Amino acid sequence: MAQPALTGRGARITKVALVNFFLTTAQRTRSLAANRARILSHINSEVLRMRTTNLAAVPADPRDSALQAEIDFLVPSAERLFAYGRDAPRGGEAETVRFASHAVKIEDVRDGELPALDQHGAMLGRWPTRVRRFYDDSHVQNRYYPESADIIRAALGADRVIVFDHNVRRGAASQPAGQPHTIGRPVHHAHTDYTPSSALRRLRQEFGPHAEEGLSRYLQVNLWRPIRGPLRDAPLAMCDGATVAAHSLRTVELRYADRTGEIYYLLHDPGQRWFFASDMTVDEAWLFKNFDSASPGPGRVAPHSAFTDARYPHVPPRESIEVRALAIFH
């Protein structure tokens, strides 16, 4: 009796069986391996397609562009505000400034548009330095001051720049008893280094009692750079000057043993924008304003503060230098 012809799936199975019957063992092994490879290739292609399709649906990790950190801000007070620039003298009057910590979002400028000096009060630049002996005050004054003045003059287009002061800071620095206070610690509260009044006093101190007459503009600026990198301990956060309201800047008297200065401390405002540059190197620096005599604009001043980056709990202590300068426009 004739058997019915096989069709469809049954015919394909029979064909495969007949082919396998006539194949040698080695040929069957190679055939199975090829089939597995084709299956795996199809699976991997599908997985890659799914991953690629889903990339747009996955939000960027916020840690890539910003972080949350605490910065100390001035607590409002009706008292006359003063603080000591160094350690309080024995038996001296108690400081009247008080601070409160606030968690703020700090954007990494590596992931976005760089701030501009006149729009934001600060700019980040790549300005290599030939100086390495930053703990030698005489060397810094003779070599780094002129180098910094050239950088600032070129960045601002100023007619004249004079560097008059500098600070070297080291994270967790301790000063041996009986030694002069030469190395400061990073400052973890929001502040500026000058006010309009103290900037004018410094201008007259450097250029004479009527130095402002005949000038079209003058600025007090800082050039700040790490002296060891990449910097991860106590990096410097800058507050966008365009987000700083005038009433948030409070005048504070800063007392030293031989003089009294005046600076601004900053009140917290949720509308303030903060930014920093991750992993700064020795050849990078922040240039920022503490005072600008030009007509009030969005970037007239840039409060700043060190902060703790919790992503790096065990890193070498920060080492940095900042010079203070006056930039003159005739």
Interval 119-134: pLDDT, tens: 999 999 999 999 999 9
Q: Is 319 inside a domain boundary?
A: yes
Full domain range(s) for residue 39: 9-55
* pLDDT of 30 strictly over 70: no
CATH number, position 271: 2.60.120
Task: Give the SS3 label for residue 15.
Answer: helix
Q: Is 83 inside a domain boundary?
A: yes
Task: Mark whether 283 and 325 lie in a shared domain.
Answer: yes
Measuring CA to CA, which residue among 239, 295, 273 is closest to residue 121? 239
Task: Mark whether 92 and 201 lie in a shared domain.
Answer: yes
Task: Mark whether 28 and 74 lie in a shared domain.
Answer: no
Q: Is 4 inside a domain boundary?
A: no
7-21, 55-69, 116-130, 245-259: the lowest-pLDDT one = 7-21
H or E element in which residue 45 lies: helix 25-55
* pLDDT of 152 strictly over 70: yes
pTM of the model: 0.78
Q: What percent of the chain has pLDDT over 90?
A: 71
Counted domains in the chain: 2
* pLDDT of 232 strictly over 90: yes
Task: Mark whether 181 and 278 lie in a shared domain.
Answer: yes
Give the β-pairing of 274-276 and 99-108. Answer: parallel
Task: Mark whether 206 and 325 lie in a shared domain.
Answer: yes
Task: Mark whether 267 and 128 lie in a shared domain.
Answer: yes
pLDDT for 36: 52
Using the structure block, give the residue that is written with the tokens 């108690």: 94
Q: Is 2 inside a domain boundary?
A: no
Task: Mark whether 103 and 215 lie in a shared domain.
Answer: yes
Q: Is 272 inside a domain boundary?
A: yes
DSSP per-residue string spanning 148-194: HHHHHHHHHT-SEEEEEEEEEEETT--PPTTS---EEPPP-B-B-S-
pLDDT for 264: 98
25-34, 127-136, 272-281: the lowest-pLDDT one = 25-34
Task: Mark whether 88 and 51 lie in a shared domain.
Answer: no
Task: Mark whether 260 and 134 lie in a shared domain.
Answer: yes
In this prediction, residues 40-66 reach a mean pLDDT of: 41
Residue 93 and residue 255: Cα distance in Å, rounded? 11
Measuring CA to CA, which residue among 261, 252, 280, 130 is closest to residue 190? 252
Task: Mark whether 36 and 142 lie in a shared domain.
Answer: no
Task: Mark whether 178 and 324 lie in a shared domain.
Answer: yes
Q: Is 3 inside a domain boundary?
A: no
Q: Which two tokens stand for residue 22?
A: 């006539």
Task: Mark whether 111 and 133 lie in a shared domain.
Answer: yes
